[in-house]
Structures are given as C-alpha cells and as structure tokens.
Amino acid sequence: MPDAKRRWIEERKRDVYHRKAKALGYRSRATFKLLQMDSKFRLLRPGAHILDLGSSPGGWAQYASERVGSGGVVVAVDASEMKPLGLRQVRLVKADVMNEGLELLIASVMRPGSADVVLSDLAPDMTGKYEIDHDRQITLAKRALEVASTFLKKGGALVVKVFEGKRSGEVERRAEFLFRRVRKVRPEASRKRSSEYYLVCLGFRAQ
C-alpha cells in the first residue's frame, strides 16, 4: 500500500469527528462543522427552507433536514449523483453550480426569494497546487453568493466556505455588501491543517 494512502487511513482512524459521524449515522464528518455553526448562530429552525450547494455526500443536507423537520424544505444541489436521504422534505437537484442554467433548475423546486438559509460547502477537485486550488475555490464561493442573492429572502442567512489566501478578501467584501453582519468562523471540526474557514452571513439585504 502506498505511504500516502496508509497515512490517510491512519488519520481517519484517529479522527474523532469521523468516528462520531459513523457512530451517529451521518454521511460525513463535515456534518459537525454545520452543527457547530448552527449551535452558535441559530441558523436552522423548524419549517425553514434551506438551499444546500455542493451537498454530496449529504452530511449537511442530512443535518439540515433534521433541524427543519417535516414542515421544512431542503434543496440539495450537486453535480454528482447523491444517494437519496429518503426524506420527504429533501429535494435533490443534480447540477453543476457553474452551469448558467442553474437558477432555472433550482427554481423548479424552490421559488426565488424564498430561502431562509443558503449553505455552501463547495470545494474544487484538489490539484495539490495552492494557487490553482485557491482560485477555483474562490470562484465557487463567489458563485454561491450569486445564487444566494437570487434565492434568499430578505433577512436570510448564508454559510459559505472560503479558502484562506490572497483572493479571500474578494468574497468577504462582497458578503459585507450583501449582508448586514458577516462573521469569519473556523469550526472546531475543521481539520487543523486546512486553509478553509466559513463566512456566516446574516441579514440579507434584498436588492
């Protein structure tokens, strides 16, 4: 077995959040990132309408569906095929977020201006080259802001992943223009060596 793969397997064995996710039946350790941000900012509530961008394998949609309950809606969008959660309140949209027709596809299951919260854990396929990965992720984060601007209701919230780097300020400045309050958060569940952080954006200023 190659050394890199062996190290990855050993790291997963030591990863407390990976073990917790497996024990609780969550699809991804990333569930705990959203859980920690939700606990701090009270983002999700029963009956809310949620748009989840980059949803596969479904950890965030799974947690969000628990929080909104059967009276809420979670629209989960991803370019890859996501295994259905088997819940009435979860609707799957298979689409690339960079697709120009994305908003029309989402609008078939969620009315523009009706989302209480937009979630984006979008990340590019990693090349291992910092500048390329950073640029691609910033493009995805800015796209999430565009989509959120279409689907959020006034006063709504956005959680968006950002990779730290020379262009991360572009996302922060745009978020501060669109929202009344923006907080930079590094959930405890994020891996220590990761460059990721999240912007929790509250109070959408509907245009």
Among residues 20, 40, 161, 184, the one annotated as catalytic is 161
Cβ count within 10 A of residue 88:
9
Q: Which two tokens stand for residue 154?
A: 């006034």
Burial (0-12, 13-18, 19+ Cβ within 10 Å), 95: middle
DSSP E strands: which ranges in the chain?
49-53, 73-78, 90-94, 115-120, 152-163, 179-185, 196-204
161 is annotated as an active-site residue:
yes
Minimal CA–CA distance to 144: which of 115, 164, 165, 166?
115
Whether the CB-CB separation of 36 and 42 falls below 8 Å is answered with no
Residues marked active site are found at 161
